[in-house]
A and B are shown apart, each in its own frame.
Chain A
Amino acid sequence: KQEVTQIPAALSVPEGENLVLNCSFTDSAIYNLQWFRQDPGKGLTSLLLIQSSQREQTSGRLNASLDKSSGRSTLYIAASQPGDSATYLCAVIGNQFYFGTGTSLTVIP
């Protein structure tokens, strides 16, 4: 069974810093990988979807990379802002979505 791990579990940074969130998975036979944002008590907001044939995707200040062979993905956030504070989830997509436990990010003004 696919297992998805996200490190760190929590991260606190001052505003303006660049940061990297990590996601690792055990089974490299995946279709895609998707990063989501979840605000407290809310649903999921899709950030980036990386197809298995791609190595990275970019949207604004966000850049996600995928290395299937090593079972890793990273989400890079540039010039962090207080509004980026949320929990970030990665989901590995095989025959179903497998979610990690998330990284809780706090950006301090």
Chain B
Amino acid sequence: GAVVSQHPSWVICKSGTSVKIECRSLDFQATTMFWYRQFPKQSLMLMATSNEGSKATYEQGVEKDKFLINHASLTLSTLTVTSAHPEDSSFYICSASSGEGTDTQYFGPGTRLTVL
């Protein structure tokens, strides 16, 4: 149980375009979802936390107008990278919690974004 999926697993796009990444909890209801970014040989950094039906909370330094997060249902959150640039190329990982607290997060397999 507690499976989280991400789609797509990898995406290549041109600079200036927008890319949407989906995160789904397959067998549980995710009250809270988290989006992380991981640059090569670096640790995962939390970008934002989203609760179903409300606005996401962004970490300091993360542009909310560039990284649009929607958590419209208890099983789906989306991250849209708007007007992507090469420096946005990274590995994006989502995680989901059923509301038991921040100590129980189930991680997705990640999405590799390459912006040309």
A residues with CB within 8 A of B: 4, 31-32, 36, 41-44, 46, 49, 51, 89, 91, 93-97, 99-102
Question: 14 A–B contact pairs at CB < 8 A?
Answer: A4-B43, A36-B107, A42-B110, A43-B93, A43-B108, A43-B110, A46-B107, A51-B103, A89-B43, A96-B49, A96-B102, A97-B44, A99-B43, A99-B45
Instruction: Rank and list the top 7 A-B pairs by shortest CB-CB distance, nearest first.
Output: A43-B109, A99-B43, A44-B107, A43-B110, A99-B44, A101-B43, A32-B103
B residues with CB within 8 A of A: 6, 34, 41-46, 49, 91, 93, 95, 101-103, 105, 107-110, 112
Residue of A nearest to B94 (CB): A43
Hey, which chain A residues are within 8 Å of B102, CB to CB? 31, 93-97
